[in-house]
Structure 1
Amino acid sequence: MAIPSLLALFLQEPLTPVAPVVPAPQMPNFAVAPAAVEATRIALTPVLDGRLEEEEWDPFATEGSGKTYLQWEPGGLHLAAHVGPGYEIVASFDLANDGWLKGKDNLELRIAPDGSVKARIVDATPTSGPVWIDIPGFQLSTKVVAGPETIEASIMDPGLGLLPEKTGSKIGVRVDLVPIGSAVMEAYMPRVATPVSLAFYRAAGLPTGLKFEPENESKSVVPGQTVRLRFTYSGKNDMGLQRLNLRSEGPARMATSLIEVPFPTFDRKNRAFVDYDTPVASGASLGYRIARGSLTGADGIPSVMQVSYRIADPADAQLVLDRIPVAETDRSMKRNYYLRSNSGRPVNGKMKIELPAPLRILNGNDRNVPLGTSRSRIRQGFELFVPGGASGTFPVTFRFNIEGREYVQTQYLTVG
């Protein structure tokens, strides 16, 4: 009778739920390079909103605890990750692509879900061995947005000229997910990064013998105007190329046109081209966007081409980046910038430059914007006052007034 009694007692007792086993956060293996999905990284500006939308982010690698993303634009890097509980991002950039323990251009950023940013570089030049140097300016020039299981970050140069500006640049990259608050690595510890190329266009799956090289890549356009990007090919008519579909990806998809045409005949020099000629809606979000071509070949399998272009304000300014050393005495110095039109029409207006204390502008603060030709660029300057002992990273605000509308842009300069 004992067995039935025990069975009855068991059936009467509520079962205690068993908590799922959550693996403890693990450190990545920094001695093994991440396997990048695509070695060519295309210029693309994300929308930071805590959500990783389709075609907004370029997949980089899959780590044990999540998926990472990476893209670029001149003077900036963008990264994101799907992160599990208890993890943060450690991004490592070998900006000369010559090895982690060489020179003084190897940048580490630790980005936490709470939005905090810690940046430092490895200086491997001292004879006594590599040392870490903190770069606090990246705290100001990096924007972070976190969602329930995501982290997005846009990293802009804080005025040091560290981040790549030109297409064709090659850097080493790894984006790791590490336990929050985990111990920092010593400066002498090696890291293996994956080499990537930074580009304004790329192609995948092209038929054998077909070459793709666009014209007007990275071209700028103002919302409400029209942009033309030329998709140019070299090949032969016996390839049997059929149709070409052209559209914008991601944030610009609904603000631009979709075009589908039969593939044209190659000329006597074996060249063919199709123009992606599209209006851009007046409410389109700003940043680098991607025009996507999908080409159907004789086998019915599409190949993909991507070309970056930029949706921008009518004009913008680009500081010539150069670190300013700290000095004990007051100084005045000249700083240069390029004033650039992004419009297909003349741009005229006013521009004012603003700096926070203790810096101030002595001359060249209030200027006309004399950009009389389409997408023109001129070099300008201003005289800057830096008091003795001043140091840090400071925002430089360019405030434009063009045809009664105000446009505000921010860049950074660093003293120290």
Structure 2
Amino acid sequence: MRTCIRRIIVHQIVAVMAVGLFIIAGNTAWCQETGGVQAATPSVTINYRERPRYPIDPQRLKLRPTLDGEIGPTEWSPFATISDGPVVGTVYLNWDDDFLYIAYRTEAPAWCIVNVDTAGDGWLRGADNLELVVSPVDTAASAPLTVRVLDAAVNRDAPIWNDSAIKAADIALMVRRAGSGQVVEMAVPRGMAGLSLRPGALLGFRADFLPAGTTPVSTAPYEPHLLLDINLVESRAVGATGIVPRLSLADSQLVSGQDLEATLELINQVDTPRTIRSVSWTGIGPAQNYLKTLREVALPAVNGLKTTRLRYSSPLPDTIIPGVYQFEVTAVMDDGSTVAANTSFSVQEQFEIQLDAEPPQVALIGPTEIKLTVTVRSAVPGFKKADVVITPPASWEIKGKPKRSVNIHREDGTIRVVYTAIVPSATQTGDYQVTADVQWRGKTWTTHRVIKVTRISQGS
């Protein structure tokens, strides 16, 4: 340790107080209490004891962007623009039931260090403190990602960094050069470091940029990290003086062919009537391609201390892709002020299908029966009649009809269709695929099951 200190002094290190940002200039050796670390570039540490001062939008909308290296004007929701440091860039943050989506665009190649407190209970608590480090984009348009978890669950007074609890490959990553800078998009899966994705969930979050020519310095595990509180929401509203908007959907989980039905309530909190100049309804981002854009001008007034309700309906086309979408309505009042509200809705597959086999593997001596169960869940509202078809390998036999009609009586209803397949005694050892289809209104949903067959000789 003394040798390291002497080397630092000899190289004339410029240091700032430990509570602030410090840079070790030149090709020097930086030494921690845990040992010496050679740094070929200037090393930088982030002042995690100071909460970020950049303005943020803490309400994070439920929205599923496309990870394609492009940040469209309405595809992502901006979280913050960082302009008070050595690198200028904008951070984007959204979520859905499966992933926390993080993206950023910088004006120059840069390191990005993201901290997420997935439980929102403070950094030095539990094993839910996630650190993501993305290196600057290189000539091959690749930004390696490193991930680790701060574990303070066993001993809060002696937390440890766990570098092996999470695999970086489990996080989807898309990187692209953008002019002189870069675009990075990530999807952190639900459950990682205890990440819970639901409306109303509170998380801690911060993102920091460092110049490409530097090396981020790891903080000691006992070092506190002050994050920004964010809230996961499905909808939000912006009112005007005296007018509060409220947007609701008749059903927020839809299927193609179903109507999106929305109601905008304009609540007048004063006793003076207000006139509405116009109301505009539209999808946000990808939803613009599927929803009707409508502007209305002949509208009723909002009487004093009363509520006016406006309604909208748009059919979802058969071409809509399952996912999470955003919908927005904006009203311009008589004085030119604007009230707005948006909300999210999801589009699901009409049917989910699962195929199970009992037994899942066959030890074949003679002709052997297998029980095949097809489970079908419908997301289509109301009663519907569909066909279930089972297709075994060519030499196998299905008892009864392979195609059977089923009735599902309600949305989210589930039915099970049971088949018996006979595996011939001449079947050779190997893997055999069974296919199950659901057919409804000219569309087909398919799933497969591979059954392993092993021949057993009579003498064994």
TM-score, scaled relative to structure 2? 0.62
Instruction: Determine helix, strand or coil for the equivalent of 1:251.
Output: helix
Identify which of 293, 300, 310 aligns with 2:336.
300
2:322·2:348 contact (CA, 8 Å) conserved in 1?
yes
Greater relative CO (CA pairs within 8 A, separation 6+): 1
Aligned residue number for residue 362 of structure 1:
none
Per-residue CA deviations over 1:160-184 (Å, capped at 9, x if unaligned) read 6822232111111112234566333
Inter-CA distance 224–292: structure 2 relative to 1 (3 Å threshold): same
Aligned to 2:444: 405
Separation (CA, whole Å) in 2 of partners of 1:56 and 1:126: 40
In the TM superposition, residue 294 of structure 1 has moved relative to its aligned partner by 1.0
Partner of 2:184: 151
How far apart are residue 194 of structure 1 and its match? 0.9
Deviation by residue 1:46-99 (Cα, 9 ceiling, x = unmatched): 011111111111111122321111111124211111135542332211122221
Determine if contact 1:93/1:171 at 8 Å carries over to the other structure: yes
For residue 121 of structure 1, report the CA deviation from its aligned partner.
Answer: 2.1
Secondary structure at 1:242 match in 2 = strand
Please say if 1:87 is aligned against 2:110: yes
Residues 87-166 of structure 1 mapped to structure 2, 5 A cutoff: 87-112=110-135, 113=137, 114=142, 116-127=144-155, 128-134=157-163, 137=166, 139-148=168-177, 149-157=182-190, 159=191, 162-166=194-198
- Structure 2 residues without counterparts, runs of 5 or longer: 1-41, 354-374, 391-404, 417-435, 448-460
User: CA separation in 2, counterparts of 1:244 and 1:25?
Assistant: 54
1:222 maps to amino acid: V
Structure 1 range deviating more: 288-297 or 97-106: 97-106
Q: Which deviates the most, 165-174 or 130-139?
A: 130-139
Match of 1:72 among 95, 117, 120: 95
Q: Deviations over 1:230-254 (max 9, x none)?
A: 2233226613333211100111112
Instruction: State the structure with more CA Rg.
Output: 2
Q: Which residue is 1:49 aligned to?
A: 68
Matched, 1:250 2:285: yes
Q: How does 1:105-254 map to 2 (within 5 A)?
A: 105-112=128-135, 113=137, 114=142, 116-127=144-155, 128-134=157-163, 137=166, 139-148=168-177, 149-157=182-190, 159=191, 162-178=194-210, 182-204=216-238, 206-216=239-249, 219-235=252-268, 238-254=273-289
CA distance in 1, matches of 2:437, 2:161: 39
Q: 1:141 and 1:373, CA in 2 relative to 1: closer, same or farther beyond 3 A?
A: farther
Q: Is the 8 A contact 2:245 2:340 kept in 1?
A: no
Deviations 1:101-156 (A, max 9, x none): 12222222234442544332222233351112246555344211111120011222
- CA deviations 1:317-365 (Å, max 9, x no partner) are 9xxxxxxxxxxxxxxxxxxxx986443455757799xxxxxxxxxxxxx
Is the contact made by 1:27 and 1:179 (CA closer than 8 Å) also made in structure 2? no
Alignment partner of 2:51 out of 15, 33, 49: 33
Larger strand percent: 2
Do 1:92 and 1:174's aligned partners in 2 also have CA atoms closer than 8 Å?
Answer: yes
2:311 & 2:97 partners in 1: Cα distance? 25
Distance between the aligned counterparts of 1:310 and 1:290, measured in 2? 9
SS of equivalent residue, structure 1 residue 105: strand
1:59 aligns with 2:78: yes
Alignment of 1:305-344 (within 5 A): 305-315=341-351, 341-344=378-381
Shift of 1:286: 3.3
Structure 1 residues 218 and 110, CA, compared in 2 at 3 Å: closer, same or farther?
A: farther
The one-letter code matched in structure 2 to 1:202 is R
Tell me if the contact between 1:73 and 1:288 (Cα under 8 Å) persists in the aligned partners: yes
Alignment partners' CA distance in 2, 1:176 and 1:211: 36
Q: For the aligned residues, what is the CA RMSD?
A: 3.7
Tell me, in whole angstroms, the C-alpha distance in 2 between the residues paired with 1:173 and 1:207.
30
Partner of 1:271: 307
Tell me if the contact between 2:119 and 2:194 (Cα under 8 Å) persists in the aligned partners.
no
Flag the 1:25–1:131 CA change in 2: closer, same or farther, 3 A.
Answer: closer
| Structure 2 residue identity aligned to 1:183 | V
